[in-house]
């Protein structure tokens, strides 16, 4: 293995849903002050999937611009991370592989560990490229965060997919070693097989997250990582954007990082812009934060940024990366902003109908209404099989 080879993110793209609901709708429904959401948890709206959208259609939409730009010939591995899986056996990535027309000479795998899964995929991809520098790995994080109506988690819901092309000599971000790791068996958030919505112990989850920040940072230091002061920005997993500032304040205490309160908030602000509007996207959340940082910051060339990935249950990782000079030419800032701005606003009644909608599980034939606007759709379920297809242009 070539340990001196630069490996990292060569391209980055994300997609979100067709619909969005403003948190003012929730505030009206529950008779609460809007600031409970906008200030209390740092959220302004949430992405809501249409009837014919799911993790596969969003994943394919996020990855399509990458394949269109770079081609598919060198992609020999697809790693899809999700905690919203559509099948207990078949990887959702296989559907994506087919929709994108990727080569048959490929390995396709789905990874799961709550919101941490995409970081595992990224690190596994980097190891594969180190072993064989001529290949590229497509990493996709895709999720729909869904909680029971009226529950504390409802306001944090969202949906998105982030796709990354991992390669040697990357154009955007070089991933550094070492990583700081942390794992603990904690029931802070989970979703049994028999449930369509997650269960969460909010107070335990925040405590577990901060415990993981401290544990992963401690291991990072012991492994010989950089001093915290060398990082120009910090990206955190964001179950809600206020959590990024909570996490960074805790890291500042653990690492003796100097800074006033406004400086602590400023260090993470640019990472929260997209997530504030989209909501939680589980595995994709950290990498939407990375895209937001790159799209909204002044030149970060040659600067070091820190990334903290947390997955309830729990597993966490703290690692560093260096921004590659000229990275701006690879960014998709305009496309990312369009993805958010083009969502169709809906009211609470429409959102509730979508939230309560379920696909029958009796193995019968069911066509799904055409609602979304992305390039791919879930067209039908027949004989217990999900049928995906490119969306036909509307007249």
pLDDT along the chain (395 residues), means of 10: 81 98 98 97 98 98 98 96 96 98 97 98 98 97 97 96 98 98 96 91 93 98 96 96 95 84 79 98 98 97 98 97 98 98 98 94 93 96 96 72
231 vs 245: CA distance, rounded Å: 16
Q: 173 near 303, Cβ under 8 Å?
A: no
The candidate with the shortest Cα–Cα distance to 303, out of 389, 176, 211, is 176
382 vs 224: CA distance, rounded Å: 54
371 vs 274: CA distance, rounded Å: 23
Q: Look at residue 121 and give its three-state secondary structure.
A: helix
Cis amide prior to 178 (ω within 30 degrees): yes
Q: Calculate the alpha carbon distances from 130 to 117, 158, 226, 231, 362 in Å.
A: 20, 34, 22, 25, 46
46 vs 23: CA distance, rounded Å: 7
pLDDT attached to residue 263: 73
Tokens of 135: 């290949």
Catalytic residue ranges: 83, 115, 237
Residue tagged 């799911």 (tokens): 54
- How many CB atoms are located within 10 Å of the residue 215 CB? 19
pLDDT attached to residue 1: 42
170 vs 124: CA distance, rounded Å: 16
Fill in the DSSP letter of residue 115. Answer: B
Tallying the residues shown for the chain, one arrives at: 395
Q: Look at residue 111 and give its three-state secondary structure.
A: strand
> Parallel, antiparallel, or unpaired: how do β-strands 158-168 and 173-183 relate?
unpaired
Domains of the chain are: 7-363 (3.40.47.10)
Helix (H) or strand (E) holding 287: helix 285-296
Q: Based on C-alpha coordinates, what's the Rg of the chain?
A: 20
- How many CB atoms are located within 10 Å of the residue 184 CB? 13
111 vs 125: CA distance, rounded Å: 12
């Amino acid at each position: 293995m070539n340990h001196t080879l630069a490996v990292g993110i060569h391209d980055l793209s994300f997609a979100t849903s067709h619909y969005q609901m403003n948190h003012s709708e929730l505030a009206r429904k529950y008779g609460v002050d809007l600031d409970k959401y906008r200030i209390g948890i740092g959220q302004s709206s949430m992405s809501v999937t249409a009837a014919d959208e799911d993790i596969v259609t969003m994943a394919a939409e996020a990855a399509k611009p990458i394949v269109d730009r770079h081609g598919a010939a060198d992609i020999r591995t697809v790693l899809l991370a999700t905690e919203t899986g559509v099948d207990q056996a078949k990887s959702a990535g296989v559907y994506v592989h087919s929709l994108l027309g990727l080569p048959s000479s490929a390995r396709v795998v789905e990874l799961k560990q709550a919101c941490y899964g995409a970081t595992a995929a990224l690190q596994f991809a980097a190891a594969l490229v180190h072993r064989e520098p001529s290949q590229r790995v497509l990493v996709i994080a895709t999720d729909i965060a869904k909680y029971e109506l009226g529950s504390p988690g409802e306001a944090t819901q969202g949906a998105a997919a982030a796709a990354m092309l991992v390669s040697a000599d990357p154009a955007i971000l070089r991933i550094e070693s070492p990583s700081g790791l942390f794992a603990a068996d904690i029931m802070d958030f989970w979703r049994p097989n028999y449930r369509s919505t997650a269960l969460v112990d909010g107070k335990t989850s925040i405590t577990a997250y901060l415990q993981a920040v401290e544990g992963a940072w401690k291991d990072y230091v012991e492994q010989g990582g950089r001093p915290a002061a060398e990082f120009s920005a910090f990206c955190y997993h964001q179950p809600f954007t206020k959590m990024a500032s909570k996490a960074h304040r805790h890291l500042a205490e653990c690492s003796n990082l100097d800074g006033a309160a406004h400086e602590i908030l400023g260090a993470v602000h640019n990472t929260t812009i997209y997530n504030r509007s989209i909501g939680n996207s589980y595995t994709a959340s950290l990498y939407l934060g990375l895209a937001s940082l790159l799209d909204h910051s002044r030149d970060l060339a040659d600067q070091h940024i820190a990334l903290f990935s947390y997955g309830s249950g729990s597993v966490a990782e703290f690692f560093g990366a260096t921004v590659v000079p000229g990275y701006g030419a690879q960014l998709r800032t305009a496309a990312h902003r369009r993805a958010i701005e083009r969502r169709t606003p809906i009211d609470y009644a429409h959102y509730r109908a979508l939230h309560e909608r379920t696909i029958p599980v009796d193995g019968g034939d069911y066509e799904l209404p055409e609602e979304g606007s992305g390039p791919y759709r879930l067209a039908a379920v027949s004989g217990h099989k999900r049928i995906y297809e490119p969306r036909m242009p509307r007249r």
